[in-house]
Chains A and B, each alone.
Chain A
């Protein structure tokens, strides 16, 4: 009996510890979309709804998909970041516009939420390790500028990135 209680105690503490660390860390909205939305349906394109509409839709999806409030907020922040309607200055810090840092942009736009790189990341989109090698930088730039150009059912959002920034991300992926 004592050993069972000990096992339950250790298991409870482990769960609590895991929960506490998750609650404290920054949640990636893209990762929440990858992990939860695609469980039932294709991820919907960001431009289908305005940000004020998404703010009303997301509480509905919070209950449907069993999202926490923090996860819901992280998705909204990601949608705002990638929304074409928001001013560019809000999305990418101005100093990064002058000297784009591929890694920083890769993280900021949550690419790894849906795509894996070096074995780590989401599964909604294809792994990025060999994309540029196999399809060329031209394909990569075109895909980020118009994600549906080669696949009309792709849920990938069009990121507010210029060509220089896209090339910086490509450089980071290749490195």
Chain B
């Protein structure tokens, strides 16, 4: 047979195969890039500075199969010294065990409340600042005079998510996890210097007691103002300073599409000897209407520390803190045509018992499209035992 006669057939077959392969690749991709970023101008009265900052937060997504999915988010930013910071926000694999159950392993955002796992990206958060109870602990909060109760928590471990749909408009969510947990924050250089001058040793070995406390050393109750709250390191590490693991979870009820309410719990031992614990309990609400969104969280924390008793022996005392925030957004553009794309935001936050503070924030947002927003926010913070602050920020955020 003349091979030349087969050539057109071979070419046609090759072209058809190529088209089929190309179509297959077009219809099924393994990879997608999403994420968000922002540019911010911030002016602080207390810091007496104003500065521009920028972040780029890409999310890398891979589908290994229908059951397995990989996600990783990095936050790339420039710090105040000009160094480029790259932070791994999460990197985990989901295994979809069933229609309603998902197993997750790796570094993931802990499902505590709603701001941490879902609402903190700047194109989703309706304010240019983090809620007061989440700020001031590094990461997404950055500097603020109000010392938050928790950071946006991300840690390494495993977790299970289970959903119970109750008809098409109601659901119950369960999330439980086990992770490495937290540790004691390494003392800062300036703190070490300061400690040298004080008649006090390690902040976790012997709690700082002021004159007022010494006068009332027979008093049973802990005067939270007189003692120093242990500083904890929430940053995830691939090692653990003890054998204890952090446990936690969240249970939530959603009446869709309007309301989601949840309760969260987190507990871990943070010292090397596993004697000192940290526990956080939270309640959250996300309430959406046609023209408004109301989001809020209440958080209570209990942090153990050692205090030396009259026999110079350490006893464990517990510091209680609590705080809450409520953020209301009025989507004026949905009610008045002339205000298309405009939101008005008001937020109140307070922290109680230790490092007490209150904060009001007022904002106006303009949506350029459904994923790009310019936010202008002014906030006024009153700190009971510290300096107050007034800050103003304009942030241009985008999801992609």
Interface range on chain B: under 10, 10 to 19, 20 to 34, or 35 or more? 35 or more
In Å, the complex CA distance between A26 and B121 comes to 33
- Chain B 249-273: CB-based contact to A (< 8 A → 1; otherwise 0): 0001010111010000000000000
CB distance from A31 to the nearest CB of B (A): 7
In Å, the complex CA distance between A49 and B35 comes to 13
In contact, A35 and B256 (Cβ under 8 angstroms): yes
In contact, B370 and A43 (Cβ under 8 angstroms): yes
CB distance from A66 to the nearest CB of B (A): 5
In contact, A63 and B161 (Cβ under 8 angstroms): yes
List the one stretch of A13-21, A92-100, A159-167 in contact with chain B: A13-21
List the one stretch of B168-176, B238-246, B385-393 in contact with chain A: B168-176
In contact, B124 and A40 (Cβ under 8 angstroms): yes
B residues near A155, Cβ cutoff 8 Å: 370
- Which of these, A15, A21, A153, contacts B368 with CB under 8 Å? A153
In Å, the complex CA distance between A38 and B256 comes to 10
In contact, A22 and B59 (Cβ under 8 angstroms): no
In contact, B167 and A21 (Cβ under 8 angstroms): yes
A residues near B260, Cβ cutoff 8 Å: 39
In contact, B340 and A60 (Cβ under 8 angstroms): no
- Which of these, A42, A66, A123, contacts B161 with CB under 8 Å? A66
In contact, A35 and B166 (Cβ under 8 angstroms): no
Let me know if A62 is at the binding interface, CB within 8 A: yes
B residues near A68, Cβ cutoff 8 Å: 99-100, 163, 165
In contact, A52 and B26 (Cβ under 8 angstroms): yes
A residues near B334, Cβ cutoff 8 Å: 126
- Chain B 292-315: CB-based contact to A (< 8 A → 1; otherwise 0): 000000000000000000000000
Let me know if A173 is at the binding interface, CB within 8 A: no
In Å, the complex CA distance between A174 and B114 comes to 41
**Which residues, 54 to 68 on B, are CB-close (under 8 Å) to A?**
59, 61-63
A residues near B257, Cβ cutoff 8 Å: 34-36, 38-39, 122-124
In Å, the complex CA distance between A56 and B71 comes to 10
**With known contacts A19-B165, A35-B257, A51-B27, A148–B369 Cβ distance under 8 A:** yes
In contact, A22 and B168 (Cβ under 8 angstroms): yes
CB distance from A80 to the nearest CB of B (A): 10
A residues near B164, Cβ cutoff 8 Å: 15, 19
A residues near B69, Cβ cutoff 8 Å: 56, 59-60, 63
- Which of these, A22, A51, A55, A66, contacts B167 with CB under 8 Å? A22
In contact, B288 and A63 (Cβ under 8 angstroms): no
CB distance from B336 to the nearest CB of A (A): 12
Let me know if B399 is at the binding interface, CB within 8 A: yes
A residues near B119, Cβ cutoff 8 Å: 40
Let me know if B290 is at the binding interface, CB within 8 A: yes
Q: Which 9 A-B pairs have the closest CB atoms?
A: A52-B29, A153-B367, A35-B256, A56-B32, A59-B69, A42-B370, A69-B99, A35-B257, A155-B370
Using CB atoms and an 8 Å cutoff, list the residues of chain A in contact with chain B. 15, 18-19, 21-23, 25, 27, 31, 34-36, 38-45, 48-57, 59-60, 62-64, 66-70, 122-124, 126, 148, 150-155
A–B pairs, 25, beta carbons within 8 Å? A15-B164, A19-B164, A22-B168, A23-B165, A25-B168, A41-B121, A41-B123, A41-B371, A52-B25, A55-B29, A56-B61, A56-B69, A60-B71, A62-B96, A63-B69, A63-B94, A63-B102, A66-B163, A66-B171, A66-B173, A66-B252, A67-B163, A150-B340, A151-B340, A152-B340
